[in-house]
Amino acid sequence: MLQGFKAFLLRGNVVDMAVGIVVGAAFGTVVTSFVKDLLTPLIAALVKQPDFSKVAFTINGSKFMIGSFINELISFLLIATAVYFFVVMPMTRLVARFSPPAPSATKKCPECLSDIPIDAKRCAFCTSVVTA
Q: Is the pTM of this model over 0.85?
A: no
Q: How far apart are CA 24 and CA 115, in angstroms?
A: 47
Domain range summary for the chain, segments of one domain joined by +: 2-98, 104-132
- What amino acid is encoded at 124 in this protein? A
Handedness of CA 32, 35, 40, 41 (dihedral sign): positive
What is the reported pLDDT for 71?
Answer: 76
Give CATH for domain 2-98: 1.10.1200.120
**CB-based burial label for 78 (10 Å; 0-12, 13-18, 19+):** buried
126 φ/ψ angles, rounded to the nearest 5 degrees: -110, 0
At 59 the pLDDT is 92
Task: Find the length of the chain.
Answer: 132
User: In this predicted model, what pLDDT tens digit does every residue of 41-86 receive, in sequence order?
Assistant: 777 777 776 667 777 889 999 988 887 787 778 778 877 887 788 8
* Beta pairing class for 57-59 and 62-64: antiparallel
